[in-house]
Amino acid sequence: MRLTTGQLLQDRYRIVSLLGQGGMGAVYKAWDTRLEVPVALKEMLPQPGLDPQMLAELRHQFQQEAQILARLNHPHLVRVTDFFQESGNAYLVMDFVEGEGMAERIDREGALPEAQVLEWADQLLDALAYCHANGVLHRDIKPQNVIIRADGRAVLVDFGLVKLWDPHDPRTRTAMRGMGTPEYAPPEQYDMGTGHTDLRTDVYSVGATLYHALSGKSPPTATQRIAKPGMFQPLRTLNPRVSPNTEAVVLRATELAVEDRFATAQEMAAALRGETLAPEGGATIVIPGKKPPEIAEEGRRKRGPVWAWAMGGLVALALIVGGVIGVQRLRDGLAPTPTAEETVIVVVPDTATPSVTPTPTPSPTQTATATATATSTSTPTRTPTPTRTRRPTSTPTGTTEGGTPGPTATPRATPTPGTPRPTRTPQPTSPPASGALITFEQWGNWRRGDQPYGEMTQTSEQVRSGSYAAKLRYDFPITDDDYVVFIRSLSLAGQPNTVGAWVYGDGSDHYLNAWIQDAQNEVWSVHLGKVGGAGWQQLAGNLDPNRSWPSGHISGPENGVIDYPVRFYALVLDRTSGSRSGHIYIDDVSVWQGELSATATPVASGPTATTPPPTSPPPSGQVGRIFYTIDAGQTYYLASTDPSWSQGQVIGVAAYEQSTCAGGATAKTLVGQTFNLFYGYRCNVESPQSCPSPDGVYKVVLWREGGSYSLSVRRTEDDALMQSTYSGSLNEDVPILWAPDSSYFYFAIKNTLHRASPSSAGYQPVLPYADEPYLSPDGSMLLYRQPVGAVGAYDIWVANADGSNPRNVTGAPETYKLCARWGR
């Protein structure tokens, strides 16, 4: 029976609307009344005529598959969050994905630009590789099951309605198999006799999906192709703008014979990038003379209108024909094919360059220097890649791990016990004015190196700024190669020499390093610091040829200098003597030009392993340095907290007119307790505006034309222009804030608070979200609000003046906290 609008399931999920329906189920948009978020609810109706035992087995299998799917966590996969049965039907609960279906984009625009389609293909194939590694086949990939989010990311959806099969009874396996959607399903998916599908089944469906996106025309079905081979037109016949390489990849992916397709999703992704992955774990780069796509932000076309969509729209044709679509676990001989490790994309110039045989990922602690041997070739030019060696236990030979003859390696000396190693994290002196290089809001093209001892995924579990960070899970064996590398190649302008990253640690003390590749293809390690305990902490280090391990030369021609321009190359987690498994979070990777003090203290934004967070409430009756108002419906309370506390303390009942929200110089309870408030040196954002510094030497001048502000600093005495700080939109709800000593001021762009100095050019982001910010009387700390829980609820936070060490200081049962102010 069709669910109705407003119907409540499990006392939690309220039906909002029907999104799609087929012969054996439906997809609904629903509202999770517990978490107050929209979800997608996928219903499986039992096939008529099933005997009770078969039905019980089907439901059991469905629940098992739901548990498997719930463990999947990938930025380009829809997330399964719940499973339940009600009134004889089974349901999956999944994230509601906001965006536009790829099918709708094709219907509206026809053939889509190749660069954009290849970007999506890389994301989808990465998601499939992750699924396959976890024993899951999708088996119904098609444009209708790909959602393009507002930020341009592709998300693969429509997992869930599973088939029932018994490995000891092929008939059961055949009877319950989902057939997929004909235009995108390979012939083995229709084989009712043996019915063997594997990783290459999904490869075919991706190829057919790309064919449709690049040509604007859905491909013929496998049965049509077998009956009339001429129906399948080459891709460039339909769209001559498609490159020969892309056409060749799509044609190979959609071969009717299973053995003629790519063996894995990784292999297909590498081919689309112009690479060839060698078998048995080696990696050989073969890149035509062109720059490959590198980051998702580049070359993105203007988006069409965005509308709410979930789970691929209409339930697939397989539901109508009586099959059941979705996920199949790989089991009983259907284990994933071994995959090759990925390596970095190197930009290849159009001219011929010497080539060398690549070797494994560079060791972050000990390396070998290779001599490149120039060779001539009539095939597409190869670029010399960095020599990548594991930490050797004996003298390296001139043979790579895969047995291919390689350049002779000279071992570097192993650091001796007396070698000084950094024990404290340097402090960044000048964060980048333009913000972080990598924010993880768009995942980009991250790939893991040769050491398979971890994975890095996009997450919203712990985030310092924006909506996403990176979660790095590690699982090191007992080996000398106890490190893991995650590669993303990004060009860097200018001559940056400092790298920083915000880390939420696990107390492992493992080394976090960044690798930088210079113009001579030499790879350098920048040691950022040791991973501390819980709480966000900024680690940073200098790119310096004179620094010793764990900084310094990693691979490539060692000439003792940094040859600019340089590229960001990789993030590396290197185990010390800490835990062998665990996870950390990374956010806002930045590069800039500046020097770090080797003895500076860490820039922490939260409690570390040596400074645990305050967990106990303040003593009863104690008053802190911060005051705020609690809205309890018909009653207001005056409350207090302190930067050293983890929750607030109610002082007493207050009238709203005498609370911290009244705008007066004091706040007072009904029994007469009075507290002085400090508002700081601030000016509204308006035009024209002249906001003087506390010492009267400078003034911030604002002028608006249309919707754009110009913000400059002038000397008050003679109105001389000191600097033109910023031009663009400003958040008019956040005032200009001056530090009490006039050394810097703050302004907000969208929700991000920035800081600038009147004596130096540029500005830098300080806090990603700062509602009602106030500086403390001594200028050392910022007070602000952040939303939590239900709509309208906030907690009060403090941070250092530079944005470091943010912490919640009102984690208490009261909900609506208003108008936080510093006491004087």
Distance CA 188, CA 204 (A): 11
Percentages of the chain per state (helix, strand, coil), in multiples of 5: 15, 30, 55
Task: Report d(CA 298, CA 316) in Å as an integer.
Answer: 33
Distance separating alpha carbons of residues 17 and 2, to the nearest angstrom: 11
What is the C-alpha end-to-end distance of the chain, expressed in Å?
A: 65
Q: Beta strand 511-517 with 469-475: parallel, antiparallel or unpaired? A: unpaired
Tokens of 485: 């590398």
The one-letter amino acid at 698: Y
11 contacts: CB under 8 Å, gap ≥ 6: none
Dihedrals φ, ψ of 379, to 5°? -85, 175
Neighbours of 218 (CB within 10 A): 18
Question: Distance between CA 688 and CA 704 in Å, rounded?
Answer: 7
Pairing of strands 708-715, 721-728: antiparallel
Region of 293 (left: φ > 0; alpha: ψ -120 to 50; beta: rest) is: beta
Contact (CB, 8 A) for 329 and 68: yes
Which residue type, as a one-letter code, is found at position 545? P
Distance CA 206, CA 120 (A): 11
Pick the closest to residue 311 from 299, 319, 321 (CA basis): 319
CA-to-CA distance for 678 and 823, rounded, in angstroms? 6
Contact 805, 605 (CB under 8 A): yes
Residue 224 identity: Q
Structure tokens at 503: 């880390």
Cα dihedral 581→582→586→592 (10° resolution)? -40
Task: Identify the residue whose tokens are 């009134």.
Answer: 87
Bridge partners, residue 308, by sequence: 98
On whether the CB atoms of residues 386 and 362 are closer than 8 A, the answer is yes
Closest C-alpha among 144, 135, 132, 124 to residue 75: 124
d(CA 22, CA 317): 7
Tokens of residue 128, six digits = 């499939």
Task: Name the residue type at position 219.
Answer: P
> Are the C-beta atoms of 258 and 233 separated by less than 8 Å?
no
- Token readout for 780 is 């050392």
Residues 638-652, buried b or exposed e (16+ Cβ, 10 A)? bbbbbbebbbbbbbe
Q: How far apart are CA 39 and CA 25, in angstroms?
A: 17
**E strand or H helix that includes residue 584:** strand 581-592
Asked about 544 being catalytic, the answer comes back as: no
Instruction: Measure CA 472 to chain center.
Output: 11
Two structure tokens written together for 742: 């006039």
Could you give phi then psi for residue 59, rounded to 5 degrees? -65, -40
**Residues in the chain, overall count:** 824
Helix, strand or coil, per DSSP, at residue 399: strand
Which structure tokens are listed for 300?
A: 């993105």
Q: What is the 3-state secondary structure (H, E, C) of 620-636?
A: CCCCCCEEEEEECCCCE
Q: Name the catalytic one among 140, 587, 631, 771.
A: 140
Nearest to 794 by CA among 785, 802, 803: 785
Of residues 798, 799, 774, 771, the one with CA closest to residue 785: 771
Positions marked catalytic: 140
